[in-house]
């Protein structure tokens, strides 16, 4: 079955960096767009970034553009999110999610990991 | 950025009742609206995509409808496990966005 397991979260000071990983299994990873979505404590969902299987382009929310970088290693079935210049407002649970449709990005996440908590605080 | 406004913020109903959740979108998103369910301490789960298509394994009591800028998620007869937060989401324009959620609670 599909499994997505995030790791790399933790406590970091404002201005610091963190790299999240998402290990995927149970499907052909390279065939799917992947995404990072976050949820601040007690708040709603915010789409952070999106990458196709080929890594040919990437999309970012304005709130993270220039600070976060999404990437993937299809040989390792792993998705990454490099987060630099972190701010207190980046505090959230970060979920990785797989797209609904193979090969053609649908913009609809249908399989979600359990999330990893990132806390940005001095 | 397309804004999705969900109503009501909280809906209090009893098991067996019908639930109707609304999602209004700030501009037309064609049929690219999805609904996700989230229970406390869990990741969201896709229920409905492209307005009215149930995701794999989703019971038939969940249905979606609407067009243009107004969309609805209906749960025909509430089961105890349906009490959760529901989010609508659009994928018509980047950045893809979610509504603020409707909390469905037991009355």
Test B44 with A47 for CB contact under 8 angstroms. Answer: no
Position A104 pLDDT exceeds 90: no
Give the number of residues written for chain A: 122
Cis, peptide link before residue B8, omega less than 30° from 0:
yes
Contacts of B30 (CB under 8 A, 6+ apart): B92
Q: What is the pLDDT of residue B66?
A: 96
Q: What is the largest CA-CA distance in chain B?
A: 38
For the beta sheet containing A68-73, the strands, ordered from the edge strand earlier in sequence to the opposite edge, are A3-7, A18-25, A78-83, A68-73
Test B95 with A61 for CB contact under 8 angstroms. Answer: yes
Q: What are phi and psi of A106, to 5 degrees?
A: -105, -15
Q: What is the pLDDT of residue A7?
A: 97
Position A105 pLDDT exceeds 90: no
Position A116 pLDDT exceeds 90: yes
B residues 10-49 closer than 8 Å to A (CB): 32, 34, 36, 42-46, 49
What does the pLDDT average to over B64-89?
Answer: 96
Within its chain, how far is the Cα of A26 from the centroid?
18
DSSP per position, A52-102:
-TT----EE-TTTTTTEEEEEETTTTEEEEEE-S--GGG-EEEEEEEESSS
Q: Does A109 touch chain B (CB under 8 A)?
A: yes
Q: What is the pLDDT of residue B13?
A: 97
How is residue A33 annotated by DSSP? -
Query: pLDDT confidence of A31, banded at 50, 70, 90?
Result: very high
Query: pLDDT confidence of B6, banded at 50, 70, 90?
Result: very high
By CB atoms closer than 10 A (0-12, 13-18, 19+), residue A6 is: buried
Could you tell me which residues are beta bridge partners of residue B25? B4
Q: What is the largest CA-CA distance in chain A?
A: 42
Residue A115 contacts residue A94 (beta carbons within 8 Å): yes
| Chain B residues within an 8 Å CB radius of A59 | 94-95
Question: Token pair of A16, please?
Answer: 């610091």
């Amino acid at each position: 079955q599909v499994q997505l397991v995030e790791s790399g979260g933790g406590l970091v000071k404002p201005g610091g960096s963190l790299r999240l990983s998402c290990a995927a299994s149970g499907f052909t990873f390279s065939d799917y767009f992947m995404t990072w979505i976050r949820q601040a404590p007690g708040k709603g969902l915010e789409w952070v970034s999106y990458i196709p299987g080929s890594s040919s382009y990437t999309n970012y929310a304005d709130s993270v553009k220039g600070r976060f970088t999404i990437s993937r290693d299809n040989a390792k079935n792993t998705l990454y999110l490099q987060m630099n210049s972190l701010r207190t407002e980046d505090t959230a649970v970060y979920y990785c999610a797989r797209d609904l449709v193979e090969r053609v990005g649908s913009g609809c996440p249908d399989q979600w990991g359990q999330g990893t908590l990132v806390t940005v605080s001095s | 950025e397309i804004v999705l406004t969900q109503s009501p913020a909280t809906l209090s109903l009893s098991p067996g009742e019908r639930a109707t959740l609304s999602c209004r979108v700030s501009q037309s998103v064609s049929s690219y609206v999805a609904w996700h369910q989230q229970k406390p301490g869990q990741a969201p789960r896709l229920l409905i995509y492209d307005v009215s298509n149930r995701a794999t394994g989703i019971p038939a009591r969940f249905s979606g409808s609407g067009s243009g800028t107004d969309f609805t998620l209906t749960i025909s007869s509430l089961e105890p496990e349906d009490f959760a937060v529901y989010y609508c989401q659009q994928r018509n324009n980047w950045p893809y966005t979610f509504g603020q959620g409707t909390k469905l609670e037991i009355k």
